[in-house]
Structure 1
Amino acid sequence: MDKDTQFAVLVIGLPLLGLLYCGLIIAFLMNNPFGRENPLITGFMVMVVPFSVAATIWIKASAKAYKEHDMRNHSEAKKAHS
């Protein structure tokens, strides 16, 4: 996929994924008494799941960028020493 297609999928897919997630939360609260009786636990879980996914994606992307930057610096250093 080229960068424009990836961006379009991100712009269209992310809000749809958010709507689906909200729908699942509402369905959980409607059908499960535990969710209504324990709002702190439910709220914490609702908060932690997207945060964990976002943090994982962010860390993987950062690690990839640092690795590419480090490899580029090593190749430039080898050329300078040659």
Structure 2
Amino acid sequence: MHTTSLRKVGGSIMLTVPPAFLDQLHLQAGATVGLVIDNGRLVVEPAARPRYTMAELLAEAEAAGVYPLPAEEREWIDAPAVGKELI
């Protein structure tokens, strides 16, 4: 078990994480993590990356003003799958 000290930084308390732990979790400075208290323990875990549907992505594109798509691109998006591109 690795031990570390909590430090006051401005109005917050900082917890340092050793680089080896960050490497194992594929995290780096600026990464978003979740914090929970579980049976009196502080648990820090990587935050799940959001998964978006095509409809959500297109709605976001419309809100940004880059949608509706030209007819040729719309045709491509609506075309049936021809390989293993479906998950």
**TM-score scaled by length of structure 2:** 0.27
Task: Name whichever structure is richer in strand by fraction.
Answer: 2
- Which structure carries more helix by proportion? 1
- TM-score, normalised to structure 1, is 0.29
